[in-house]
Amino acid sequence: MTAFKGRLRLGVNIDHVATVRNARGSAYPDPLRAAKLAEQAGADGITAHLREDRRHIADADIAALRKNLSVPLNFEMAATEEMQRIAMTHLPHAVCLVPEKREERTTEGGLDVARDDNRLGQFIAPLREAGCRVSMFIAADRAQVEASARIGASVVELHTGAYCDLHYEGKLKERDAELARLRDMAALADSLGLEVHAGHGLTYETVQPIAAFPEVMELNIGHFLIGEAIFVGLEAAIARMRTEMDAARA
């Protein structure tokens, strides 16, 4: 029997509800409404990324989510002074630091904690002291895991984007090699006392091998679920994802 660390939580990322809203500059669809529905459907947390260019989630969304959710809010942000001020204002349950480039379509690659460890260590200190669970969004790379432990992060979120891309490109040997790296880095992070999360690009088809890692405690999934909601509704999409995750742990 595999010794799982605990029940695998599902964090639902509602950024792309805001993407649809912002496409027309309207007041709908409302990310808070999606978050409440996700909560009812069994999401263990809500994730939202306030990007520097505000292309989806807006400042007012973060305030509304913080005020109205009963599950934890995982606030994704770049390590900038502006975002730190916003995080310190709202004090979300969790802060996940992500790299951010204006020209990217989505978060490409992980944070380079190893190269920026001094600055990031100082950056996360006030957030930790304020009681936020601080997480580093990193690639499956030993130096990044070790640096995250060294600077005092509580969590690493392993970037599953490369694994998912390789799966859908049909590069199965490379996909399996990336999966092995993710598995090894989940074990390393756990051995260093870090809580292990994972996310990016996950779908019904790709979630199970990641959910089966015994150290993984939380998956954060957004784009696929919001897309699937167009066809089956958000509650059904979340319920099916939950079933896939549970099957992987059975």
Pattern of binders to ligand PXP over 119-138, x per CB under 6 A? Answer: ------------------x-
51 binds ligand PXP (CB under 6 A): no
Q: CB under 6 A: which stretch of 19-27, 28-36, 140-148, 221-229 binds ligand PXP? A: 221-229
Q: Least distance in Å: CB of 48 to ligand PXP?
A: 9
Task: Report, in Å, the least distance between residue 3 CB and ligand PXP.
Answer: 25
Q: Please check whether residue 96 is in contact with residue 79, taking contact to mean a CB–CB distance below 8 angstroms.
A: no
Alpha-carbon distance of 227 to 201, in angstroms, equals: 12
Q: CA-CA distance, 35 to 69, in Å (whole number)?
A: 8
Residues 58, 18 contacting (CB under 8 angstroms): yes
Which of 223, 240, 242, 249 touches ligand PXP (CB under 6 A)? 223
79-87: long-range contacts, CB 8 A cutoff, minimum separation 24: 79/111, 79/116, 79/119, 79/120, 79/123, 80/52, 82/52, 83/50, 83/52, 84/123, 84/126, 84/127, 86/50, 86/59, 86/62, 87/127, 87/132
- The DSSP letter of residue 220 is E
Q: Total residues at the site for ligand PXP (CB under 6 A)?
A: 19
- 98 near ligand PXP, judged by CB under 6 A: yes
| Nearest residue (CB) to ligand PXP, 45 versus 199 | 199
Report the nearest approach of ligand PXP to the CB of residue 220 (Å): 4
Q: Which of 100, 157, 190, 195 binds ligand PXP (CB under 6 A)?
A: 157
Nearest to 160 by CA among 116, 222, 117: 222
Q: Please give the structure tokens belonging to residue 4.
A: 């799982």
| Closest CB to ligand PXP among residues 17, 202 | 202
Binder among 134, 167, 220, 245 for ligand PXP (CB under 6 A) = 220
Q: Residues 200, 207, 216, 234: which binds ligand PXP (CB under 6 A)? A: 200
Joined tokens for residue 194: 């870090």
Query: Which positions touch ligand PXP (CB under 6 A)?
Result: 13, 15, 49, 76, 96, 98, 106-107, 137, 157, 199-202, 220-224
Give catalytic residue positions: 49, 76, 200
